[in-house]
Every structure is written in C-alpha cells, then in structure tokens.
Amino acid sequence: MDRDFVLFIYTNKTSSLIRMASIQSGLTTKINLEVSFRRSKKAFNDLEDHSKENLELFVEENFVNEEDTLLQYVPDDWSPFEPKDIIKSFNNYPEYSGFISEINNRMKSLCRKIDEDVLLNQQLYSLIYLPNPVIIPGGRFKEIYYWDSYWIIKGLLVCGMNTTVKGILENFLYMVKLFGHVPNGGRTYYIGRSQPPLLILMVKDYMDQTQDYDFVKENISILRNEFEYWVNKHLVLVEDDRGEMRKLFRFIDEDSTPRPESYFEDFDLVSSLELLPEKQKDLFRQLRTAAETGWDFSTRWYIDENGTNEGELKDTKADQILPILSMEILEAIDAILWNPSSGIWFDYDFMNKKSRNYFYPSNLTPLFLISDITSKIIDQSKIESALNYILEMDNEEIHPGGLPSSLIPSPQHGHVSYDATDPKSTGHGGEYLVQIGFGWTNGVLIGKKYYELNSRMKKIKNSLLSFPSDIDLII
C-alpha cells in the first residue's frame, strides 16, 4: 500500500471519517492503529454504509493494534536502586528515597522499542521507525515526542541511564538525516512541524555528564543541519527601537488541515464557527502551529479582536507571536523583547507590532540561557529586575502549587491536569485524561530534586545558571 493512502486514511475530511474518529474516546486511539493489509483502499471505497457499526468493523478488519509494534522494553542500563546507589545528594534525605525509586520505576515502564516490521514495511505504518529504544510520555501519547524528551533526558541522566540517553539522541539525529529536522513526534503525520529546538541542549546535557566529545564531533554537522532548518523556515526580521533589523524565530506549520492526531476536535471547533473557507484554513493552521510550540493550548497564543490574550481557542494566532526561544539570538531577544517598564522579557505580537505584556513562566527563558558569554549581553540589573518580577508573581496564598502557566483563567492551558490553586486535586479539560507518572514530568521532578539537594549545584542555582526551579513547573 502506498503512503498516500495511509495519509489519506489519516487526513481525509469526509464526514464518514469524522464519525470513524468518534467510535471511541480520543482520535489518537484510532489514528494510530496501523494498516494491516494491501487491499484496505479498495475495502474503504467499497464501504457504502458509513454507520458507526460498519466503520468499527472496517477498522477491526483492516488495522492492527499499535501495541504489536511498540514493544515494552527494559533498558539495558536501567536497574532498581535506592537513591544512595546513584545520587549521593540523597544520602541525607531518606524521606525522598521512595519518591525517587518510584519515578525510576516509571522510567522503565514508559520505555518502548519499535518492532523491526515498521522498518521493513514503513508504508503500512504511521509510526516512524527508530533504531533505539525510546521513552514515551504515556497515556494517549504512545510515541516519542521532541521537547518532552528534553525533560525526560534530565531525569534519565540523574538515574545514570547514559546509554539510553545516547540512544534517544541517536534517534533524533536519525530523524534529522531523514527529514532535515526533528518532527513534533514519532509519527509520519508529525513530519510537517517540529517543536522547540532543544536537540543541541540535549546533546550538551549528555556531553556534560559523560564527556563523550567524540559523539559530538561525529554529529556536529547534523546538529548544524537542524539549526539551518529553523533559520530557513522559522526566521523573521523585526525592527527594534533604533531602526535596526533583528532576527527572531517563530513557530509555524503551513498545513491548513485539521491536526491528524486531534482531527475530530479541530473539525468540531472550526465547523461550529461561521467562518469563510480561508478563515477556516487559517484556524486549522494556527492550531497546528500551537501544537508545534509544545505549549498547547494556552492564552499565550491568543490574539483577540482587541489584540489581547483574553480570547478563546478560536483566537489562536501562534504564528504571529514571537516567543522567547532558546537560540543564538540573545541580543535580538534583549533588544526586542525586553520591557523596561515591567522589567522582564515578553513575547512579541508580530501582527500588531507590540510587546505582549502578560505573565507566563517563559518570560524568564533568557535567564535559563545565561553563561559567561551571554552575561555580557544581559546585564546584572536586568537579571535582578526579572527575579523581582517573578517573586512578585509567586503568591503562595493564591497559587500554593507553584507558578501558574498564566494569570488568565482558561481551560486551554497545556497543563490542565494540574491546578496551581489546589495542588491536592487534578485539573480538568484539555484533550486527554489525567494519568500518573507522565514522561516529562518524571524527568522534571527527579532532575529538580537532585539539583536542589546537591550542594554544589545550589550555588549555581542561586545565580540562575542551573536547571530551572520555579520555571520548570509550568503548570
């Protein structure tokens, strides 16, 4: 079967496939069922009655369950451990022993290896074959995801799983060689978009722990290719206050169809609005772009008719907002995004040519990038001002669970499974169910606690050069 038909199955806009997507909760459950034989196209064309029952039968007869291709796998470098076995910092903190051991166990439970049949018959699968085991987020997310892996790797390195980390990095480098960039996730329908470009930082974290400089030397050209992809596709020019043109980056997915992984949700939203065809296409494009940000969905990407972030999901304009990205552009970030009246960096509204004066934890991103080189660009007074800004926002009485993802109440925040106002409860809304032990939150928690308890890293953390503490819990 040719891949065109596989993509047809995943992206066809007929009402019958929308109804097919509704057969059971979550479109991703159905979309990731793999095509099982070469006559599926004829079988679909011969399907005259598009009732729910017939569509269920069609799926059952023509697809195989994805669990047959994503195999449970125990990493070679995983082992059960007491924290003292690997992390000396925990010796004096026995109360964290069970906590860390439990997260370590969840790392194992989320490991998968892709069956070789996907490599031999790629045309039959939406899954992208990867040569090494992966750590998946879990729940409905059964494949590897780009920026999730940045946080997952933080935890894996603390657990001493250097070999697994190297394998994940090799998977991403393999994708860059295939597609010119790292896709949003490990499915063919994600190839058209990426996610925050953190591969270089992942390699740096691995190198810092292992001193495997040969690995970096061998793959530096591939890392350069990924950076060039972002330069070629995502670079925009913005004029600063002195009339100089500055280079910044934005997220953008140019496809104007519903996201295959959330086809029903996108179709349902757009069809509920009275929009002209071009406006419908633009909203589909904006929803896709929001998914590329990794921060989907959030008021951060809203621009309503008044130019504010107080809109709804239909007001998503993700490709018109220039975020504070972790790239070699700190001078431009400082020139365009620094807001002297508020004493912090803000995203930039490219459509209305103005600063977006709204609180999000990402406003602190430049502090995460500070080094001996970048400290010459961002002076100490701005660092102190930004720290004061975040301290003012960190109101424990209002948000006992930590910094919220936004001060605008909205069901669209990316981390709806956690409520900053009530940390003992779960959140609500969003496109997927609450689960225990999500892949990247595992990595954040174990990495955060390790650096907090490591006396050597405390000094670095206090100068804002370490793994982020408050910023990492983007809730």
Q: For 81-98, how does the pLDDT look when each residue is reduced to its tens digit (9 = 90+)?
A: 654 455 555 555 666 677
Position 163 pLDDT exceeds 80: yes
> So what's the pLDDT on residue 14?
36
Q: Do 319 and 212 share a structural domain?
A: no
Q: Do 410 and 276 share a structural domain?
A: yes
Average pLDDT of the chain to the nearest whole number: 77
Question: Average pLDDT of 188-207?
Answer: 93
Q: Do 134 and 53 share a structural domain?
A: no
Which of the two residues, 31 and 62, has the higher pLDDT score? 62
Cα–Cα distance between 345 and 362 in angstroms, integer? 9
Question: Average pLDDT of 65-82?
Answer: 83
Question: Average pLDDT of 49-70?
Answer: 74
Cα-based angle 162, 163, 168 (whole degrees, multiple of 5): 95
> So what's the pLDDT on residue 73?
95
Position 41 pLDDT exceeds 70: no
Question: Within 10 Å of residue 351's Cβ, how many Cβ atoms?
Answer: 12
Which of the two residues, 344 and 42, has the higher pLDDT score? 344
CATH number at residue 320: 1.50.10.10
Q: Considering the chain, what percentage of its residues have pLDDT values greater than 90?
A: 27
Tokens 């409520």 belong to which residue? 419
Tokens 């999901």 belong to which residue? 313
| Chosen domain end from 46, 64, 82 | 64
> So what's the pLDDT on residue 454?
60
> So what's the pLDDT on residue 263?
82
Q: Do 159 and 44 share a structural domain?
A: no
Q: Do 457 and 383 share a structural domain?
A: no
Q: Do 72 and 59 share a structural domain?
A: no
Q: Do 197 and 79 share a structural domain?
A: yes
Position 192 pLDDT exceeds 90: yes
This prediction's pTM: 0.77
Length of the chain: 475
List, for residues 351-370, the tens digit of each pLDDT value: 888 888 888 888 888 877 66
pLDDT tier at 114, thresholds 50, 70, 90: very high
Q: Do 353 and 407 share a structural domain?
A: yes
Q: Do 447 and 373 share a structural domain?
A: no
pLDDT tier at 382, thresholds 50, 70, 90: confident
Position 184 pLDDT exceeds 80: yes
Q: Give the residue among 253, 347, 281, 256 at the shortest CA–CA distance from 308.
A: 347
Most confident of 52-61, 194-203, 314-323: 194-203
Position 325 pLDDT exceeds 70: no
> So what's the pLDDT on residue 66?
67
Sheet (strand 134-135) strand order: 70-72, 111-114, 134-135
Question: Average pLDDT of 190-215?
Answer: 94
List, for residues 389-439, the tens digit of each pLDDT value: 878 777 666 677 777 777 776 655 544 566 777 777 765 555 566 666 677
Instruction: Look up residue 360 and give its two tokens.
Output: 């999000």
Using H for helix, E for strand and C for coil, what is the string for 231-258? Answer: HHHHEEEEECCCCCEEEEECCCCCCCCC
> So what's the pLDDT on residue 104?
82
Q: Considering the chain, what percentage of its residues have pLDDT values greater than 70?
A: 70
> So what's the pLDDT on residue 142?
86
Q: Do 244 and 323 share a structural domain?
A: yes
| Chosen domain end from 64, 80, 102 | 64
Residue ranges in 307-454 assigned as alpha helix (H): 330-332, 365-368, 380-393, 439-453
Position 4 pLDDT exceeds 80: no
Position 211 pLDDT exceeds 80: yes
> So what's the pLDDT on residue 173?
98
Which of the two residues, 319 and 288, has the higher pLDDT score? 288
**What DSSP element (H or E) covers 63?**
strand 63-64
Question: Within 10 Å of residue 151's Cβ, how many Cβ atoms?
Answer: 25
Question: Average pLDDT of 168-179?
Answer: 98
Question: Average pLDDT of 168-191?
Answer: 96
Position 344 pLDDT exceeds 60: yes
Position 27 pLDDT exceeds 60: no
Tokens 């045309």 belong to which residue? 123
Q: Do 182 and 153 share a structural domain?
A: yes
Position 174 pLDDT exceeds 60: yes
Q: Do 230 and 190 share a structural domain?
A: yes
Distance of CA 325 to the CA centre of its chain: 13
| Chosen domain end from 17, 49, 64 | 64
Burial class (CB within 10 angstroms; exposed 0-12, middle 13-18, buried 19+) of 208? exposed
The range of the structural domain enclosing residue 88 comes to 68-235+435-475
pLDDT tier at 19, thresholds 50, 70, 90: very low
Between 62-66, 68-72, 284-288, the lowest mean confidence (pLDDT) is in 62-66
> So what's the pLDDT on residue 167?
98
Position 194 pLDDT exceeds 90: yes
Number of structural domains the chain divides into: 3
pLDDT tier at 264, thresholds 50, 70, 90: confident
Question: Average pLDDT of 91-111?
Answer: 77
